[in-house]
Amino acid sequence: MNSDAIISSEPATGKELWRGEPGDIDETVDLARNAWPAWAAEPLATRIELIRRFANEVRRDYEILADLIARETGKPLWEAHNEVENVISQVEVSVRAYAERTAQRKLDSALQGTAALRHKPHGVMAVITPYCAPAEIPAGHVIPALIAGNAIILKPSEHAPATAERLLNCFIRAGIPAAVVQPLHGGPEHGRALAVHPGVDGVLFTGSAQNGIGLNRKLAANPGKIVSLHLGGNNPMVVWDTPKIPDAAVLVVQSAFSNAGQRCTAVRRLIVKPALYAPLMDEVKRLTDRILVGEPHDDPAPFMGPMVSAERADQLTESFLYLISHGGKAIKHMTRPRGGLPFVSPGIVDVTGMEERPDVELFGPLLQVIQIDDFDNAIAEANATRFGLCAALVGGNPQDYNRFWANCRAGMINWNRPTTHLAQAAPLGGLGLSGNQRAGGYYAADYCAYPVSSAELEQPRAREGVGFRVD
Ligand code: NAD
């Protein structure tokens, strides 16, 4: 196991932000195992009360957390503020979801007693999370898991340990026992070893498809462990008949480039009718040229910051070069405006003429454009991916949208909204390589507790049935 110190640096400046030792997996799991029965035995009302106090602690830490998120990921401060607000609103969403999705039910019948449905927590849950939303994504698993009565171990991204520490600190200040919400710092090896640890009852993984699939393979021999995989996408946006080209261009740019394209829901493939291609791409280019790329705290505020690391920025630049050297035509060249720092300008490539378009998630500000002249073919192109996270139609009429909605294979399908626009009070999940169909968001309650059905009578009462000899 790698014992090197975990060091988190600010992508925008390269300055060191946080340093710590990798966690001890056995010790962390033991503490969690010992702590969870008492936590699970607390009345639900107590757990909910403590989670609501957590929301207050996050409100108290609003600026501190937003500042940390912005510095640690490089995202603009305004985006980091949105993220903190989403953490706070996640609390009431999860309380409502738990009540609705896991409500107790009793079906009384005088003769047959009671048939009861109740839910139980799994036990110790490993929550393994990415860097792109380092407070919101952990909170989206941890809050519902705690409400359900699980103990959690959060293995945050090695790129965002400082944010995770501060977030968990809010749970502890709210009065939740420290052994019930522990961090485990480390890189991928720590994630793997934690997930397969026999003391872990469930694994809630958000990250790339490649790593999620590898993990799933490792866990296949143990079907009793609940596994939720929230993975990437190769998301399409289809722009069809619309007179509102400037609005369509804004939706394209917001969907493709906000958070420097480092969102699972970002648009990667823009599919456009040839008649709209020239005016739309002119607008998209004009708007992209006006994007302010800068440091999180810059004034005026930037639209997007850097990528998370030089390595990730190098990989994306290589992907851009791959596309243009294999038949893609650059509409906007991707550049590295600040030398060794991971700032990347948005790149746009027309890949219509490419013989084989790689069906991979290019996780950064890189948009591929495809011209298609028929609506059914545009839907087929949208579906020409192994992923199935989200898709959007811009333009068209209600009949077009009905066709798009009915035939598009994705877990989130939007109309005239950015692909990144999601209602928090809705489930969030995908098909194909985008996950294992355990939607999160509102439906996270489903994987944080399991149903137990019970047939119950106050006193034993039974009658011999068929098949006994008469004495
Ligand atoms: P990543 O897969 O590199 O890492 C995610 C986490 O998993 C990190 O904590 C990492 O240390 C750990 N990890 C890596 N390999 C592992 C392994 N083999 N076993 C166990 N743990 C392992 O992802 P990232 O680059 O940090 O984040 C970006 C990815 O996350 C993108 O693919 C994006 O689409 C996806 N994502 C998905 C959602 C969703 O809800 N579907 C949301 C946000 C991000």
**Does ligand 1 have an atom closer than 6 angstroms to the CB of 128?**
yes
pLDDT at 62 over 80: yes
In this prediction, residue 111 carries a pLDDT of 66
pLDDT at 332 over 80: yes
Spatial separation of the C-alpha atoms in residues 228 and 128, rounded to whole Å: 10
Please compute the mean of the pLDDT values over residues 89-107 and round it to a whole number: 93
**Does ligand 1 have an atom closer than 6 angstroms to the CB of 230?**
yes
Q: How much of the chain, in percent, has pLDDT values that exceed 70?
A: 99
Around 50, how many Cα atoms within 13 Å sit in the side-chain half-sphere? 23
pLDDT at 109 over 80: no
Spatial separation of the C-alpha atoms in residues 45 and 96, rounded to whole Å: 13
In this prediction, residue 110 carries a pLDDT of 61
Q: Which atom of ligand 1 is nearest to the CA of 440?
A: 40
Instruction: Kindly report which listed range (209-223, 306-320, 423-437) carries the lowest average pLDDT score.
Output: 423-437
As beta bridge partners, residue 427 has 441
Which residue from 142, 231, 438, 443 has its CB within 8 A of the most atoms of ligand 1, so it is best to mutate?
231
Ligand 1 centroid distance, CA of 234 (Å) = 15
H or E element: which one contains 7? strand 6-9
Residue bearing the CA closest to ligand 1, atom 31: 208
Q: Which atom of ligand 1 is nearest to the CA of 434?
A: 41
Spatial separation of the C-alpha atoms in residues 11 and 131, rounded to whole Å: 12
Write down the H helix ranges in 42-133.
44-60, 62-73, 77-101
**Does ligand 1 have an atom closer than 6 angstroms to the CB of 448?**
no
Spatial separation of the C-alpha atoms in residues 368 and 357, rounded to whole Å: 10
Class of residue 330 by CB neighbours under 10 A (exposed 0-12, middle 13-18, buried 19+): middle
pLDDT at 347 over 90: yes
Q: Which atom of ligand 1 is nearest to the CA of 428?
A: 40
Please compute the mean of the pLDDT values over residues 1-28 and round it to a whole number: 94
- Whose tokens are 């420290």? That residue is 178
pLDDT per residue as tens digits for the range 418-453: 999 888 788 889 999 999 999 999 999 999 999 999
pLDDT grade for 107, boundaries at 50, 70 and 90: confident
Around 252, how many Cα atoms within 13 Å sit in the side-chain half-sphere? 33
Spatial separation of the C-alpha atoms in residues 370 and 194, rounded to whole Å: 42
In this prediction, residue 224 carries a pLDDT of 92
Residue bearing the CA closest to ligand 1, atom 21: 191
pLDDT at 89 over 80: yes
pLDDT grade for 173, boundaries at 50, 70 and 90: very high
Spatial separation of the C-alpha atoms in residues 290 and 379, rounded to whole Å: 31
pLDDT at 150 over 70: yes
Q: CA of 261: how far to CAs of 85, 277, 303, 366, 406, in Å?
A: 21, 22, 11, 7, 27
Q: Which atom of ligand 1 is nearest to the CA of 208?
A: 32
pLDDT at 262 over 90: yes
- Whose tokens are 């639900």? That residue is 44
Q: Which atom of ligand 1 is nearest to the CA of 207?
A: 30
How many residues are listed for the chain in this entry? 471
Residue bearing the CA closest to ligand 1, atom 1: 207
Domains of the chain, CATH where assigned: 6-231+435-456 (3.40.605.10), 235-415 (3.40.309.10)
In this prediction, residue 329 carries a pLDDT of 98
Instruction: Kindly report which listed range (32-36, 225-229, 418-422) carries the lowest average pLDDT score.
Output: 418-422
Which residue from 1, 128, 216, 431 has its CB within 8 A of the most atoms of ligand 1, so it is best to mutate?
128
Mean pLDDT of the chain: 96
pLDDT grade for 106, boundaries at 50, 70 and 90: confident
